[in-house]
Structure 1
Amino acid sequence: MQDKLLFFPPSLPDESLISRVSRYHLISGNRTEQSTFGELCSRVRLNLGSVVPAYIEVLAARLPGDADANLAKILQDNTLLPAFRPFLGRPNAPLPSAGETDVNAKITHFPRHVVGMVGNAKLCISCVVDDEQIHGVGYWHRSHQMPGVTVCWKHKELLISSCQNCRFPFLRPQKLLSVPWGACPVCSIHLEKKKQDEVANPFEIAYGLFARELLAENIPPYHPEILMNAYREKIRQRGYSRGSMPALQDFQASMIDELGCEFISKVDPAFSMKRASWWLRLSYIESALDMPITRHIILGMYLFGTAHNFHNHLQVLANEDDAIARKKGKKSDSSQNSIRDEFRRKIASALKKVPSLSMEQLWKKQFRTVAWLYDNDKEWLNNTVLGGDAKTDDFAVGAKSKSDDVLDREYALLAEDYSRKLFEEEGKPQRIGMAKILAGVTKNIKSTKANRERFPILFATIDLCKETAWCFSARRILWALGELNRLDEKIIISNIALTSVVIFSAVESILRFADWDAKKISSTKINTQALLAKAGITRTWRGPSESKLGEFGGRGYVRKNVVITCI
């Protein structure tokens, strides 16, 4: 068992954890930051700039008193967790209370689509001056570190994240902070209060205030359905609705127009990079809505005004859901059984009339019935319907109409033409795969076994037209040569690999096979199609014959099952 710490600076109001640890480092007189990390968390390196830093349970165990209580207090008072908690409720798991202290239930890996941007340490000099007068020492406020916050909610001044003189960033990875207690480590100049010429945007002030209230309100985690319903209800109340659903795109355009692109670009990185298509997405992935916390704060500020109103509205919806769930729970088993028997009879009757019915056809004909059985009696449904899919597919092939043959040929011609256009497009290459070709031909056909048998010519054409990884890599290399020349970068293999995102050995193999002089090609206007044709590289090129790499993949990776632990 590790020894308890002799002292650790008590938390000041709204102080971030990295501020407390940095103050400990200065007070303890440790010569290196590694020594401090070792004393506190038994680690040589530690990143304290994340939402909830790792290994803080080790620090909690070393503080005087109960380890669980210490951990709960650090999470509540010194991390950004209280602001993120409302947006991390898991849809299929019971939600732990806000005071839950089991370390296994703590969040250490946040979904990237929720976190947004973190990594800078932001400081308000007026707050530092006030804190020195009130507490005897300046420190880093937690509310200033919230993603998207650019202005101090209290003093309405712009926050700074680097030295006023040399622009050296305050926070670096796995390092502690040295200001405002000491001078800049580069230019040795202390911070000073300066008059700011730039006037803070009122919306930036409101955003910072809502973020600060969100930290203080201590909102528990809510099911993403409740969050979606809260947003939808408020959007409909403002008159943006189409039937029972909110007119989300119209509301988005109106909100952007009212708040202004300049403000939203400052707080939301995606918007600043012109990724505004479906910017508001009221759908969830695994455990949370598919939006970063910056967008939640903008929506909450715009729709509810204060975090307290936001909390109250969520609680009302949660209470209504509980009442509905209790009411549903009173249904007797006999009632459920009677519904199940009735729906089973409907499916059995439909299959008796047309034994070749597939699951897809049943969904179209008996949607409500199939939906209920899928949720409540899936095993019976699978055994009854899915067991006959092979017969259904055979029937569908045998009974294929003449119109399908005509469509098959038409789609095949469209696929060939569309894939050729994609291949000849200028600019940054996009790999020509089956999904991209199908999407360009028709959105009604997916790559399934039944469709492959229904449209054999189409899928055979796609197999011939889709691009191999080797061909795509060759196109990326030629594009990278043009980019390196435009940016006036050195034409060497490592730079080509870095820009093209093609592995080093593959770049060497392709250049050697095609006999391309990289420096010579980059110095002239690159005709991609001519260079590929001269080298004998087509869309189906399987790579250099001497290569031992085979058909390699790209660097993209999507996890199929994401396991997220929530508080």
Structure 2
Amino acid sequence: MNHQLPFFPHSLPDESLISRVSRYHILSGNKTINGTFDELFGKKPFSLEQVVPVGIDVLAQRLPGEQRSSLKALLLENTLFPIFLPFLAPNRPSNFATDSSEIVSHIPRRVVGMHGEAHLCIDCVAEDRKEHGVPYLHRSHQIPGVSVCWKHQTPLLSSCPLCSCPFLFPKKLLGMPWLPCRCSWQPTVSSSLLQSNDEKAYQYAVFAHDLLKQNLSPISPALLFSIYKKQARQLGFSRGKGIAAEELQNAVIDHYGEAFIKDTDTAYASARRKNWLRLTSYQSALDTPITRHILLGLFLFESVERFTQQILKEEVQLKLETRSRHQETNSAFRDTKLSSHQREHHRKKVLNLKQRRPTATIQEIWKQAFKSMSWLYDNDRVWLQKYGLQPKSITTHKTVSPSIDDELLAAQVDDFAKNYFSNDSGKPHRLTVGRLLECLGKKLCPSSDYRKRFPLTFDRIDYHTESPWHFRARRILWAIGELQSFGESISTSNIEMISGVNFHWINDIVDYCEWNYASLARQSINIPSFLLRSGIPHNWPGPRRPDSRMNGGRRHISQAKIEPKSYLDFILNSETSKPHS
């Protein structure tokens, strides 16, 4: 049921949403957290440290004033949405309309491995109490990877320094810094910490804070990549017309040091370092977490001001290039129009001559209308052939007969594929078209000409080529054997790390085959025969999943279907009249 809140604490500078909600809980005198969440969101307690918490639109509707304005203020002033927004632009705009809840769900709820903590600066607590009369939690301290205060350079706390009790528990609200810890500790000036000596951590915190406060608009992946590329090449990381990605990654790691990057980036800390600093695009944006955007932006530009200036400069350049392309297109259109006018003129002249002299030969027409015939011969020869003024060209079709080696090579492919899976020791490699061609000892390629010359061979190659899903299943079983031999626990996350197979694909295959990790660990597995018993042939197309699971854990949707400049536009254009229970 909708209702207006009698009051809600006004937002203090850089205050996080969980801080405002926690202050409301204390000031309202509610006995339970459930009651507070029901009043504000109409839901049971959930995690408020998310980038964009669920139910924020319900809270905006229950605040005084227009829901659209309230929602915009909450998003831009009390969440980390502004620091993610520049890196979430669609590859290309579309007029496809979609539900706003799907857009909100596409925004990262949290950074993997970095959530569930509330960071506090003791110096900020004392300063806020003096300036605003009340301390609060700053959202710039909650940015992933930030470990020191951008203003005071003091280390941030996430738990009590005396009893180590965390400030925040799952699906709970904050008591700190308004209420003392269970051990009676309270953040005061006397408990202030010494400044951090980690200059890299401080520079990271300043850059992240400035980026959050900048409220940048979404940057298209093409524009963002161009900015990174030009700056990297200016710093000497160039290779041909592109960038030396590996050298750039090594330079970034050397600049910050492995210890700092491990604390900042969970993937690097987990030894997942292949293509760690990638600048590829996946559906909507550069396939790079926010922490790496900050690390790379700080390394390349040193300040948000220079980063912003480069964005504006690149946008102007892009507009000029777009305008130039439009002018070229218009020029080509004018040339086409002129060419059409010339075609009609020359055709008319030749037809008039043929009507006046119906018995004239082609040679005589060439002599009488040489200019028109020359233009038509160069630009409109089909028309000349249509009216009998040029002989029609005779096309010859080359016939290709099968090679005498075709049957022998096809049998060779069968023999190689028959023993491949049992001979593929160590980490499995997929049986691809390339590997099947290599076994022939003859240079072939899967082009149309070769397929005509060796139809039986390529028919067997197509048949024996291993499907991606069969290859993933082999990798999973191999990883289980490896974990078992090293005495490690067999879990989906460990299998993912060893096999390189995506977490969701592992779950799909295990669920489909109804495998039990404990049962698999107790037996010695012959992978090829075990897969056949599980109903997985070498060309298995994969599990048939219901549509509700096709989007994966983060409900990815193709952002080529997402319209304009900003996800914020979709969120704010949601149906405000829709009732909330």
The answer to whether the superposition gives a TM-score over 0.5 is yes
CA gap 1:469/1:216 in 2 versus in 1, 3 angstroms: closer
SS of match in other structure, 2:134: coil
Distance 1:48 1:114 in 2: 10
CA gap 1:45/1:114 in 2 versus in 1, 3 angstroms: closer
Distance 2:192 2:438 in 1: 56
Which position in structure 2 is the counterpart of 1:257?
254
Aligned residue identity for 2:208: A
Distance 1:542 1:123 in 2: 53
Which digits, 9 at most, give the CA deviation of each residue in 1:371-423, with x for residues without a partner? xxxxxxxxxxxxxxxxxxxxxxxx9995565788787666666655653344x
Larger RCO (CA within 8 A; separation ≥ 6) = 2
SS of match in other structure, 2:175: coil
Aligned residue identity for 1:108: V
CA gap 1:78/1:441 in 2 versus in 1, 3 angstroms: farther
Which position in structure 2 is the counterpart of 1:306?
303
Unaligned runs of 5+ in 2: 340-396, 492-503, 569-581
Which position in structure 1 is the counterpart of 2:234?
237
Unaligned runs of 5+ in 1: 96-101, 343-394, 492-497, 512-516, 545-549
The percent of aligned pairs where both chains have the same amino acid is 31
Partner residue of 1:420 out of 408, 419, 422: 422
1:107-256 aligned within 5 A: 108-110=104-106, 118-119=114-115, 120-184=117-181, 187-192=182-187, 199-256=196-253
Distance 1:63 1:447 in 2: 65
2:268 matched to 1:271?
Answer: yes
Shift of 1:505: 9.6
Shift of 1:127: 2.0
SS of match in other structure, 1:159: coil
Aligned residue identity for 1:425: G
Which position in structure 2 is the counterpart of 1:68?
68
Shift of 1:293: 1.0
SS of match in other structure, 1:108: helix
Distance 1:230 1:114 in 2: 26
Which position in structure 1 is the counterpart of 2:41?
41
Q: Please report the RMSD computed on the Cα atoms of aligned residues, expressed in angstroms.
A: 4.8
TM-score by length of 1: 0.69
Which digits, 9 at most, give the CA deviation of each residue in 1:206-249, with x for residues without a partner? 11110000011121112111111111111111112123222222
Max radius of gyration: which structure?
Answer: 2
1:252-401 aligned within 5 A: 252-331=249-328, 333=330, 335-336=332-333, 398-399=400-401
**Is the Cα–Cα contact under 8 Å of residues 52 and 81 in structure 1 kept in the other structure?**
yes
CA gap 1:440/1:225 in 2 versus in 1, 3 angstroms: farther
CA gap 1:461/1:93 in 2 versus in 1, 3 angstroms: closer
Distance 2:314 2:216 in 1: 14
**Is the Cα–Cα contact under 8 Å of residues 15 and 137 in structure 2 kept in the other structure?**
yes
CA gap 1:202/1:471 in 2 versus in 1, 3 angstroms: closer
**Is the Cα–Cα contact under 8 Å of residues 40 and 58 in structure 2 kept in the other structure?**
yes
CA gap 1:341/1:171 in 2 versus in 1, 3 angstroms: farther
Shift of 1:139: 1.4
Distance 1:40 1:396 in 2: 76
Aligned residue identity for 2:274: S
SS of match in other structure, 1:109: helix
CA gap 1:303/1:36 in 2 versus in 1, 3 angstroms: same
Which position in structure 2 is the counterpart of 1:12?
12
Distance 1:154 1:233 in 2: 31
CA gap 1:540/1:107 in 2 versus in 1, 3 angstroms: closer
CA gap 1:489/1:331 in 2 versus in 1, 3 angstroms: closer
Shift of 1:280: 2.1
1:430-441 aligned within 5 A: none
CA gap 1:258/1:28 in 2 versus in 1, 3 angstroms: same
**Is the Cα–Cα contact under 8 Å of residues 76 and 82 in structure 1 kept in the other structure?**
yes
Which digits, 9 at most, give the CA deviation of each residue in 1:429-487, with x for residues without a partner? x6967689779989x99999999886754664675685898998799679758857976
SS of match in other structure, 1:170: coil
Which position in structure 2 is the counterpart of 1:82?
82
Q: Pick which of 16-25 and 124-133 moved more.
A: 124-133
SS of match in other structure, 1:70: helix
Q: Pick which of 140-149 and 273-282 moved more.
A: 273-282
Distance 2:110 2:335 in 1: 43
**Is the Cα–Cα contact under 8 Å of residues 47 and 173 in structure 1 kept in the other structure?**
yes
CA gap 1:150/1:556 in 2 versus in 1, 3 angstroms: farther
Shift of 1:60: 1.8
SS of match in other structure, 2:146: coil
**Is the Cα–Cα contact under 8 Å of residues 301 and 307 in structure 2 kept in the other structure?**
yes
Aligned residue identity for 2:39: E
Distance 1:67 1:88 in 2: 24
Distance 1:439 1:457 in 2: 9
CA gap 1:402/1:131 in 2 versus in 1, 3 angstroms: farther
Aligned residue identity for 1:146: I
Distance 2:152 2:487 in 1: 42
Which digits, 9 at most, give the CA deviation of each residue in 1:125-167, with x for residues without a partner? 2322322232222211111111111222222222232343554
1:474-485 aligned within 5 A: 483=483
CA gap 1:504/1:314 in 2 versus in 1, 3 angstroms: closer
Shift of 1:200: 4.4
Shift of 1:541: 2.9
2:541 matched to 1:540?
Answer: no
Which digits, 9 at most, give the CA deviation of each residue in 1:301-355, with x for residues without a partner? 111111111011101100111122223323465724857999xxxxxxxxxxxxx
CA gap 1:154/1:401 in 2 versus in 1, 3 angstroms: farther
Shift of 1:252: 1.7
**Is the Cα–Cα contact under 8 Å of residues 122 and 193 in structure 2 kept in the other structure?**
no
Distance 2:241 2:478 in 1: 51
Aligned length: 476
Which position in structure 2 is the counterpart of 1:375?
none
Distance 2:337 2:280 in 1: 30
